[in-house]
Each structure stands twice: as structure tokens, then as C-alpha cells.
Amino acid sequence: MTELQFREIINKSIESQLNFRNHWKPFTTDSSLVIEQQKAESILASLEERLQNNYPFFHPSYAGQMIKPPHPIAIAAYVMAMQINPNNHALDGGPPTAAMEMEVVEQIAEMFGYTEHLGHLTSSGTIANLEALWVARSIHPNKSIAFSSNAHYTHKRMCEVIQSSSKEIDLSNLELLESELRKGTIGTIVVTIGTTGTGAVEPLHKILPLAKRYGVRVHADCAYGGFFMLLANDNDPIVSPEPFLSIKECDSIVIDPHKHGLQPYGCGCVLFKDINVGKFYKHDSPYTYFTSKELHLGEISLECSRAGASAAALWATLQAFPLKSNTGLGTILKKTRRAALKWSELVSSSSSLIELARPDLDIVIFLPRIDPFSASHVSSITEKIFSTGMNQSDSPVYLATYTVDSSFIANLHPTFIPDSPVTKVLRSVLMKPEHEQFVPELFRKISAIAESLI
């Protein structure tokens, strides 16, 4: 979309406010609300100046954190709805955006393969996970919530909030997991589909049968990786399909449209497989059986006020980019995944860089190939590559650094010397479709910097 078209659709969304207001009798804005045009312009000029001090999240040279701007259609829809400012805490806060929320949540539930669901949008993945853990604790009040050391750091914190005990557990070691489950002290396992650090997909399809055998709930934290579900049903999928295809067996799911769903921040989503968990929210009648059509939004959300504009933005985005593999969002995700595969291939054939492990999604972790190949040396060169890339005067490159346990590297690379408990490595998140074309240039720049430093 060119800039001109963007300006046009934004203007349309601003004009729509006049059409809305024209349904009612005009009135004069109170003098207490009036600011002079000149003052408003000068405030916005100062804001613009302050905002210059940001990284170029929009640009393919930015491959650092999981940040990119929303799609213009999401921005226009958000602005259009936000001027009315509906509140999706309850139906009368804005019936149209409440209806849109139900529609988009249904589309997401269908994407995962839920045949029935209870769910809603949230302000974030953290809040969505909090709800799932809160329900999990209500079902198994005296048992622990378990997750791996790679789970998002907020799970442990939220266990403290809901006063549930938690347990860190290695989810790649199924024997160990089973011996823990046999003890009967774990009530819920959180499985991460796309860890925040490395984009690793935990072996959900292997964990689920064990969890079922021991009557343990499974929560899928798909905040980052959830939309890669779209690629799992392809004939020749470019993600490992098994974990994705078993998400529908999980008791609850969290996904963040504000990560891979082209949305502005303020858009997470939680889904429950058993709609009857609605009873935990509804305090006045805890034993009623609910159908998914009876309980909505405010009644089944921990949060009260939520932007109806978020639902409008996601609704409009999914109209333009449906949840399909060969069109819409699937096309975008395929490009990001192929960018990571290409990046991974280039790094593994490089004489100056080593990839840590094959990427499961679109995040690639790599480190300088140096002698001595020790934790302290790798950390120091990593820092240098990171800052040199970012501070290049002509076309800088933005990566991120990431800290991993040195023992983890040593297990994968026997020549590695773990002279410090943790090692800083390089991390690139290739979450823009333009990255597919941009990866060779990114690689050329980064490997040139690495070669000059080693």
C-alpha cells in the first residue's frame, strides 16, 4: 500500500466520525475543552521530535525484537472506532464492536480447530495467560502449574498473583515429565508454541497424551507462534505440523494478535475448550450450565474496560487478511518463515557465524564463530556485532542480543567452553514479509561485521 492510499484510508476513517455525529443535533464544544490550533500543532511537533528516538520497527533492516507497526487497515479501523470509543467490557458499551469481537474470536477458535469455545480478546498475552491460569487453578486448587524454563517469564509471576504453586520442568524430557506427573502434584502444564526467546515450539503432541493419562490440564501459550497454525495443514508444511495440529486438544489457548496478527498493542486473546468454565467468572450463579451464546465478554473477562477499537481493528484486518494458508495472513507468515529458513541456511554455511539451533518459526539465534570458542569471548564479540550493526552510519542493521545458559550451547556444540554460566548470543526476529527478500543483504552486512571483529 502506497503512502497516498494510506493517507486516504486514514482520512476516510476520520471523516466517518462526522457522518456518525451528523445523526444527532449539533452543539457547541464547551470552552474548557478548546485548544488553539497553533498550540495543538506545536504540541504535536514536540511529540514528533521526541518520537524520533525510536528504532525503525517498520523497516526490514530492523530484525531485533518482536515489534512491527500495525497494518494500515488496522490503524484506520482502530482510529475509526476509537473516535466513538466503545468499551467492550459489556454489550451496552458498544454492541457493534462487541459483535465484531465475537466474530474474530470465533475465527481464531476455528483456526485452531476448536468446535466450541468460550473466549474473548484481552489487553495482552499476559492478561490472557493470567485468565487461563486462574481458571486452571480454580479447577485444580491445590496443585502446581508447571512450565519449562523457556516459558514466558510472566507465568511464574502470575502464579504468584493467583497464589498457585508453580514448578519449572523440562518439557523435552518426557520420562522426567511422566515421573513428575505420576506424583499427582501437578494440575496444569503450560506448553509454549513459539517461545519468546528463540521461537521454539515445545512438543505438545507428545506432552498431551501423558497429561491426559494423569488427568492434568494443558494450556497452550501460543502468544507468539499461534498464527503459524495457518501453515500446519499444508500438504508440504514449512513448520512441523504435529504440535500445531494438537493445539485443539488443549484446555485453553492464548494468542496475541498484536504480535503476528498485524494489530496495534492492546490485543491478546484467550480461548477455553470447555465453555462451562464460565462458571468461574459468574459469581452469582456458580452452578449454571452456560452455552457459549449466553455469556459474553464483560461477564467472562477478568478485565473491565477494554478498547472496542481493538476488536474493530482486528475484524477489519481479518476481512482483508483472512486466516487462510494460501492467502491473507498465511501468505505473510510463510514469507517470515522462509526468511528464517534462508537466514538459518546462510548462517550455517558462514565462516564467521554459527547458528545455535534450527529455527522452529521465524526467530533465528546465532553466535560468532570464534577462537577461543568460550562463553565470555562469544558474549563480548556478540555485543560488538550488535552495537556495530546498529551504529553503522550508512544503512544500519538492528538485531537483538539474547542470553542463554552456557550449558545449553555446550550440549549442542561440543567444542564450546562454558567459562561463564550464561552466554550472550545474537537474535533476529524476521517477522516482516519483506524480510524474505532482505535476508541476503542482512546476512552480508552482519557477516562482514563479524569477520572484521574476529
- Name which position in 125, 187, 243, 308 contacts ligand PLP (CB under 6 A): 125
| Part in contact with ligand PLP (CB under 6 A); list of ranges 217-225, 360-368, 375-383, 401-409 | 217-225
| Part in contact with ligand PLP (CB under 6 A); list of ranges 124-132, 183-191, 336-344, 388-396 | 124-132
212 CB-near residues (< 8 Å, 6+ apart):
none
Which is closer to ligand PLP, CB of 93 or CB of 226? 226
Least distance CB 261 / ligand PLP (angstroms): 11
Q: Is 226 in the site for ligand PLP (CB under 6 A)?
A: no
- Name which position in 202, 221, 303, 436 contacts ligand PLP (CB under 6 A): 221
Position closest to ligand PLP via CB? 125
Least distance CB 127 / ligand PLP (angstroms): 7
Q: CA 211 to CA 95: how far, in whole Å?
A: 40
What is the grid cell recorded at 169?
520442568
What's the half-sphere exposure (Cβ side, CA atoms, 13 Å) at 446?
33
Q: Is 196 in the site for ligand PLP (CB under 6 A)?
A: yes
In the beta sheet, which residues pair with residue 186?
144
Helix axes 72-82, 308-320, angle to 10 degrees: 150
Which region holds residue 184: left if phi is over 0, alpha if psi is between -120 and 50, else beta? left
| Part in contact with ligand PLP (CB under 6 A); list of ranges 108-116, 119-127, 292-300, 401-409 | 119-127
Q: Is 310 in the site for ligand PLP (CB under 6 A)?
A: no
| Part in contact with ligand PLP (CB under 6 A); list of ranges 5-13, 182-190, 219-227, 363-371 | 219-227
Q: Is 124 in the site for ligand PLP (CB under 6 A)?
A: yes
Least distance CB 125 / ligand PLP (angstroms): 2
Least distance CB 376 / ligand PLP (angstroms): 29
Least distance CB 158 / ligand PLP (angstroms): 10
Q: Is 126 in the site for ligand PLP (CB under 6 A)?
A: yes
Least distance CB 349 / ligand PLP (angstroms): 29
In the beta sheet, which residues pair with residue 412?
none
Which is closer to ligand PLP, CB of 133 or CB of 232? 133
- Name which position in 81, 132, 171, 223 contacts ligand PLP (CB under 6 A): 223
Q: CA 243 to CA 184: how far, in whole Å?
A: 25
| Part in contact with ligand PLP (CB under 6 A); list of ranges 12-20, 165-173, 216-224, 243-251 | 216-224
Which is closer to ligand PLP, CB of 172 or CB of 185? 172
What spatial distance separates the first Cα and last Cα of the chain, rounded to whole Å?
42
Least distance CB 21 / ligand PLP (angstroms): 34
Exposed/middle/buried for residue 25 (C-beta within 10 Å: 0-12, 13-18, 19+): exposed
Tell me the number of residues near ligand PLP by CB under 6 A.
13
| Part in contact with ligand PLP (CB under 6 A); list of ranges 122-130, 137-145, 183-191, 355-363 | 122-130
- Name which position in 62, 224, 290, 386 contacts ligand PLP (CB under 6 A): 224
Least distance CB 121 / ligand PLP (angstroms): 12
Which is closer to ligand PLP, CB of 180 or CB of 256? 256
Which is closer to ligand PLP, CB of 193 or CB of 316? 193
Which is closer to ligand PLP, CB of 155 or CB of 342? 155
Burial letters 203-221, b for 16+ CB under 10 A, else e: bbbbbbebbeebebbbbbb
Q: Is 256 in the site for ligand PLP (CB under 6 A)?
A: yes
Least distance CB 236 / ligand PLP (angstroms): 27
Q: CA 226 to CA 254: how far, in whole Å?
A: 8
* Contact criterion met (CB below 8 Å) for 31 and 281: no
Sites for ligand PLP among residues 133-192 (CB under 6 A): 152, 154, 192
Least distance CB 194 / ligand PLP (angstroms): 6
Q: Which residues bind ligand PLP (CB under 6 A)?
A: 124-126, 129, 152, 154, 192, 196, 221, 223-224, 256, 268
